A and B are shown apart, each in its own frame.
Chain A
Amino acid sequence: MLLPVMVFVTGVAVPAGWISEEDLVSLVRNPATRLVLVGLVFLFLFHWAHRFRYALVDLGLGVVGKQAWLFYGTALIGTIVAGLAALRL
Protein backbone atom coordinates (compact mmCIF):
# COMPACT_ATOMS: atom_id res chain seq x y z
CA MET A 1 0.00 0.00 0.00
CA LEU A 2 2.72 2.47 0.98
CA LEU A 3 5.40 1.34 -1.42
CA PRO A 4 4.45 3.38 -4.50
CA VAL A 5 4.35 6.65 -2.60
CA MET A 6 7.68 5.95 -0.91
CA VAL A 7 9.22 5.20 -4.27
CA PHE A 8 7.76 8.49 -5.42
CA VAL A 9 9.42 10.34 -2.54
CA THR A 10 12.91 8.90 -3.00
CA GLY A 11 12.69 8.53 -6.76
CA VAL A 12 10.98 11.73 -7.85
CA ALA A 13 10.84 14.24 -5.02
CA VAL A 14 14.51 13.90 -4.03
CA PRO A 15 16.11 14.13 -7.50
CA ALA A 16 13.70 16.95 -8.35
CA GLY A 17 15.13 18.85 -5.38
CA TRP A 18 11.82 19.16 -3.53
CA ILE A 19 13.42 17.76 -0.40
CA SER A 20 16.81 18.97 0.82
CA GLU A 21 19.38 16.64 2.32
CA GLU A 22 18.90 18.24 5.76
CA ASP A 23 15.15 17.73 5.66
CA LEU A 24 15.48 14.12 4.57
CA VAL A 25 18.07 13.24 7.19
CA SER A 26 16.05 14.83 9.98
CA LEU A 27 13.03 12.96 8.73
CA VAL A 28 14.85 9.64 8.80
CA ARG A 29 16.28 10.47 12.23
CA ASN A 30 12.85 11.13 13.67
CA PRO A 31 12.11 8.21 16.06
CA ALA A 32 8.54 7.85 14.77
CA THR A 33 9.74 7.63 11.17
CA ARG A 34 12.31 5.01 12.16
CA LEU A 35 9.71 2.90 13.89
CA VAL A 36 7.43 3.09 10.85
CA LEU A 37 10.28 2.29 8.45
CA VAL A 38 11.42 -0.76 10.41
CA GLY A 39 7.82 -1.93 10.55
CA LEU A 40 7.52 -1.48 6.79
CA VAL A 41 10.78 -3.33 6.17
CA PHE A 42 9.37 -6.21 8.17
CA LEU A 43 6.09 -6.23 6.21
CA PHE A 44 7.72 -5.72 2.78
CA LEU A 45 10.29 -8.44 3.32
CA PHE A 46 7.86 -11.06 4.57
CA HIS A 47 5.40 -10.22 1.83
CA TRP A 48 8.19 -10.65 -0.72
CA ALA A 49 9.46 -13.85 0.89
CA HIS A 50 6.01 -15.40 0.79
CA ARG A 51 4.96 -14.32 -2.70
CA PHE A 52 8.32 -15.03 -4.29
CA ARG A 53 8.65 -18.43 -2.66
CA TYR A 54 5.26 -19.49 -3.97
CA ALA A 55 6.00 -18.00 -7.39
CA LEU A 56 9.01 -20.30 -7.58
CA VAL A 57 6.89 -23.23 -6.44
CA ASP A 58 4.30 -22.41 -9.12
CA LEU A 59 7.08 -22.25 -11.68
CA GLY A 60 7.89 -25.82 -10.70
CA LEU A 61 11.26 -24.83 -9.27
CA GLY A 62 10.89 -25.64 -5.62
CA VAL A 63 9.69 -28.01 -2.99
CA VAL A 64 7.58 -26.02 -0.58
CA GLY A 65 9.10 -27.08 2.73
CA LYS A 66 12.75 -27.18 1.82
CA GLN A 67 13.34 -23.63 0.65
CA ALA A 68 11.02 -21.95 3.09
CA TRP A 69 13.75 -21.14 5.63
CA LEU A 70 15.84 -19.49 2.92
CA PHE A 71 13.20 -16.86 2.14
CA TYR A 72 11.80 -16.25 5.59
CA GLY A 73 15.35 -16.35 6.97
CA THR A 74 16.40 -13.61 4.55
CA ALA A 75 13.35 -11.61 5.55
CA LEU A 76 14.13 -12.07 9.24
CA ILE A 77 17.78 -11.07 8.84
CA GLY A 78 16.77 -8.02 6.81
CA THR A 79 14.35 -6.95 9.52
CA ILE A 80 17.01 -7.40 12.21
CA VAL A 81 19.54 -5.36 10.21
CA ALA A 82 16.94 -2.61 9.76
CA GLY A 83 16.20 -2.69 13.49
CA LEU A 84 19.89 -2.41 14.38
CA ALA A 85 20.35 0.41 11.88
CA ALA A 86 17.46 2.27 13.44
CA LEU A 87 19.02 1.90 16.90
CA ARG A 88 22.43 3.16 15.77
CA LEU A 89 21.51 6.79 16.14
Chain B
Amino acid sequence: MTREVTRPLPWNWWLKKAAYFQFMMRELTSVAIFAYTLLVIWALWSAAEVGAFSTFYTFLSGSLSVWLHMVILGLALYHTGTWIALTPKVTVLWKDDERVDPDLIAGATSILFLMISGAVIWLVLM
Protein backbone atom coordinates (compact mmCIF):
# COMPACT_ATOMS: atom_id res chain seq x y z
CA MET B 1 0.00 0.00 0.00
CA THR B 2 1.50 3.31 -1.05
CA ARG B 3 1.22 6.42 1.05
CA GLU B 4 -1.38 8.77 -0.29
CA VAL B 5 -1.66 12.51 0.16
CA THR B 6 -4.97 13.89 1.35
CA ARG B 7 -5.80 17.54 0.86
CA PRO B 8 -8.42 18.74 3.33
CA LEU B 9 -10.66 21.60 2.27
CA PRO B 10 -9.24 24.88 3.58
CA TRP B 11 -11.57 26.85 5.87
CA ASN B 12 -11.59 29.78 3.45
CA TRP B 13 -12.66 27.74 0.41
CA TRP B 14 -15.68 29.97 -0.07
CA LEU B 15 -13.44 33.01 -0.58
CA LYS B 16 -11.53 31.38 -3.41
CA LYS B 17 -14.08 31.54 -6.17
CA ALA B 18 -16.80 34.07 -6.93
CA ALA B 19 -19.46 31.38 -7.30
CA TYR B 20 -18.59 29.87 -3.92
CA PHE B 21 -18.76 33.30 -2.32
CA GLN B 22 -22.17 34.03 -3.85
CA PHE B 23 -23.40 30.71 -2.53
CA MET B 24 -22.21 31.51 0.98
CA MET B 25 -23.83 34.95 0.86
CA ARG B 26 -27.11 33.37 -0.24
CA GLU B 27 -26.98 31.11 2.79
CA LEU B 28 -25.83 33.73 5.28
CA THR B 29 -28.43 36.28 4.24
CA SER B 30 -30.94 33.95 5.90
CA VAL B 31 -29.84 35.74 9.09
CA ALA B 32 -31.87 38.72 7.88
CA ILE B 33 -34.94 36.50 7.90
CA PHE B 34 -34.24 35.55 11.48
CA ALA B 35 -33.80 39.19 12.54
CA TYR B 36 -37.02 40.22 10.87
CA THR B 37 -38.96 37.37 12.44
CA LEU B 38 -38.12 38.79 15.87
CA LEU B 39 -39.76 42.04 14.77
CA VAL B 40 -42.90 40.23 13.67
CA ILE B 41 -43.10 38.46 17.03
CA TRP B 42 -42.74 41.82 18.74
CA ALA B 43 -45.60 43.22 16.68
CA LEU B 44 -47.85 40.28 17.55
CA TRP B 45 -46.96 40.50 21.23
CA SER B 46 -47.47 44.23 21.59
CA ALA B 47 -50.75 44.38 19.69
CA ALA B 48 -52.64 43.30 22.82
CA GLU B 49 -51.97 46.61 24.57
CA VAL B 50 -52.27 50.07 23.05
CA GLY B 51 -49.27 51.44 25.00
CA ALA B 52 -46.95 48.63 24.00
CA PHE B 53 -47.98 48.94 20.39
CA SER B 54 -47.26 52.67 20.45
CA THR B 55 -43.70 51.88 21.51
CA PHE B 56 -43.45 49.45 18.62
CA TYR B 57 -44.89 51.95 16.16
CA THR B 58 -42.57 54.71 17.36
CA PHE B 59 -39.61 52.36 16.97
CA LEU B 60 -40.64 51.62 13.38
CA SER B 61 -40.75 55.33 12.59
CA GLY B 62 -37.29 55.97 14.06
CA SER B 63 -34.17 56.27 11.94
CA LEU B 64 -32.49 53.24 13.56
CA SER B 65 -35.39 51.11 12.38
CA VAL B 66 -35.27 52.57 8.89
CA TRP B 67 -31.56 51.76 8.57
CA LEU B 68 -32.09 48.24 9.86
CA HIS B 69 -34.96 47.77 7.45
CA MET B 70 -32.90 48.95 4.49
CA VAL B 71 -30.18 46.43 5.32
CA ILE B 72 -32.71 43.65 5.82
CA LEU B 73 -34.55 44.61 2.63
CA GLY B 74 -31.33 44.38 0.63
CA LEU B 75 -30.39 41.02 2.09
CA ALA B 76 -33.95 39.71 1.76
CA LEU B 77 -34.16 40.70 -1.91
CA TYR B 78 -30.83 39.00 -2.59
CA HIS B 79 -31.93 35.89 -0.75
CA THR B 80 -35.33 35.74 -2.46
CA GLY B 81 -33.87 36.55 -5.87
CA THR B 82 -31.33 33.75 -5.75
CA TRP B 83 -33.98 31.26 -4.71
CA ILE B 84 -36.31 32.36 -7.48
CA ALA B 85 -33.47 31.82 -9.94
CA LEU B 86 -33.31 28.22 -8.71
CA THR B 87 -36.99 27.37 -9.21
CA PRO B 88 -36.63 26.06 -12.79
CA LYS B 89 -34.10 23.50 -11.51
CA VAL B 90 -36.75 21.89 -9.36
CA THR B 91 -39.78 22.50 -11.53
CA VAL B 92 -39.02 20.76 -14.78
CA LEU B 93 -42.17 20.92 -16.88
CA TRP B 94 -42.82 19.09 -20.12
CA LYS B 95 -45.21 20.11 -22.85
CA ASP B 96 -45.65 17.64 -25.68
CA ASP B 97 -42.23 16.12 -25.05
CA GLU B 98 -40.51 19.52 -25.19
CA ARG B 99 -38.97 20.89 -22.04
CA VAL B 100 -40.52 24.20 -21.00
CA ASP B 101 -37.81 26.88 -21.13
CA PRO B 102 -36.25 27.24 -17.63
CA ASP B 103 -36.13 31.03 -18.07
CA LEU B 104 -39.88 31.01 -18.62
CA ILE B 105 -40.41 29.25 -15.29
CA ALA B 106 -38.07 31.63 -13.46
CA GLY B 107 -39.85 34.53 -15.16
CA ALA B 108 -43.26 33.22 -14.13
CA THR B 109 -42.06 32.83 -10.54
CA SER B 110 -40.76 36.40 -10.56
CA ILE B 111 -44.09 37.70 -11.84
CA LEU B 112 -45.90 35.69 -9.19
CA PHE B 113 -43.58 37.22 -6.60
CA LEU B 114 -44.35 40.76 -7.83
CA MET B 115 -48.09 40.05 -7.91
CA ILE B 116 -48.12 38.72 -4.35
CA SER B 117 -46.06 41.68 -3.19
CA GLY B 118 -48.44 44.07 -4.93
CA ALA B 119 -51.47 42.32 -3.43
CA VAL B 120 -50.04 42.63 0.08
CA ILE B 121 -49.31 46.34 -0.37
CA TRP B 122 -52.82 46.88 -1.70
CA LEU B 123 -54.39 44.96 1.22
CA VAL B 124 -52.35 46.79 3.82
CA LEU B 125 -52.74 50.30 2.45
CA MET B 126 -56.46 50.06 1.65
Q: What is the interface of chain A, defined by CB distance below 8 A to chain B?
A: 1-15, 18-19, 21, 24-25, 27-29, 34, 37-38, 40-41, 44-45, 47-48, 51-52, 54-55, 58-60, 78, 81-82, 85-86, 88-89
Contact = CB atoms under 8 A, between A and B. Distances in A.
Interface string B106-125: 00000001001100110011
A85 B44 contact: yes
A44 B34 CA distance: 7
A4 B66 contact: no
Contacts of B32: 3
Given A2-B120, A89-B48, A51 B69 contact: no
B27 interface: yes
Contacts of A44: 33-34, 36-37, 40
Contacts of A19: 124-125
Interface residues of B, number: 47
25 contacts: A3-B33, A3-B76, A4-B117, A7-B69, A7-B76, A8-B73, A9-B120, A9-B124, A13-B121, A15-B66, A25-B53, A28-B44, A28-B47, A34-B44, A44-B40, A48-B34, A52-B30, A55-B28, A58-B27, A59-B14, A60-B9, A78-B41, A81-B45, A82-B41, A88-B48
A14 B57 contact: yes
Nearest to B118: A5
B80 A1 contact: yes
Interface of B: 9, 11, 14, 24, 27-28, 30-34, 36-41, 43-45, 47-48, 50, 53-54, 57, 60-62, 65-66, 68-70, 72-73, 76-77, 79-80, 113, 116-117, 120-121, 124-125
A59 B11 contact: yes
A7 B47 contact: no
Given A25-B50, A59-B11, A15 B30 contact: no
